[in-house]
Structure 1
Amino acid sequence: MSITVKDVQHVAKLARLQLSPEEEATFTEQMNAILQYAEKLNELDTENVKPTTHVLQVSNVMRDDVIKESLSQDEVLLNAPDHEEGHFKVPAVLE
């Protein structure tokens, strides 16, 4: 597959970009280079390679959930800049 100037013009139109003829030629050349590189990657033998999501082995470090006492409503409201009737009071965002 190769990219033509018409393809670049079409994508530019969709993106509402105005490209000069020089830019169209440059992007056509660059996009074709990207596609050639992708084709080169397709030549690699990946038969015995497991699919991965990361290049390095990554694992989540999770701690066990432990049930413990929460803060009381009064303790939480001590940190609030403003509160009313046991609730946080924030500036109105709707009229």
Structure 2
Amino acid sequence: MVDVETVKKVAKNARIKLEEGEAEEFKEDFDNILEKFSSLDEVDTEDVEPAFHPVEVESKTRPDEKEETLDREEVFQNTDNEEEGFFKGPSA
């Protein structure tokens, strides 16, 4: 059974701000979800081989091809955030 403190910890880790009383409501939801998952423990998987994908997945790649690149003037033509030939980002 999930307690309110666990719900608050999960919300904090997920960066979800809970209003007063919401943790209590979500506690019941978590309990229901975990109860559904517990039914998976009853499935007999003794002779089942592990699978990484439920369907066959084939990697599609293409060969690298050298292409013409932009010159420095074109790269920085639409920005004011350039300093000494590099893009300038926020300081902190």
Report SS of the residue matched to 2:54. Answer: coil
Aligned to 2:19: 19
3-state SS of paired residue (2:86): coil
> What do the CA deviations read for 1:18-44 (whole angstroms, capped 9, x no partner)?
3221x2122111111111111111110
Task: State the TM-score, normalized to the length of structure 1.
Answer: 0.56
Q: Once the two structures are superposed, what CA deviation does each residue of 1:66-86 show, in whole Å capped at 9, x if it has no partner?
A: xxxx76xxxx54xx4437xxx
Aligned partner of residue 26 in structure 1, secondary structure = helix
Tell which structure's C-alpha radius of gyration is larger.
1
**1:93, 1:20 → 2: CA distance?**
47
Moved over 6 A (4+): none
The 1:41–1:7 alpha-carbon spacing in structure 2 relative to 1, beyond 3 Å, is same
Q: Residues of 2 paired with 1:60 and 1:9: CA distance? A: 40
What is the aligned-residue RMSD (CA, Å)?
3.3
**1:43 aligned onto 2:42:** yes
Unpaired runs of at least 5, structure 1: 84-88
Q: For 1:44 and 1:50, how far apart are their aligned partners in 2?
A: 14
The percent identity for this pair of structures is 29
Q: Quote the residue 1:54 is aligned against.
A: 53
Structure 1 residues 34 and 49: alpha-carbon distance in aligned structure 2, compared to 1, 3 A threshold: same
| Paired position in structure 2 for 1:32 | 31
- Residue 3 of structure 1 corresponds to 2
**Equivalent residue pairs, number:** 78
Distance 1:16-1:44 versus aligned 2 partners, 3 A rule: closer
What residue ranges of structure 2 are gaps of 5+ in the alignment? 77-84
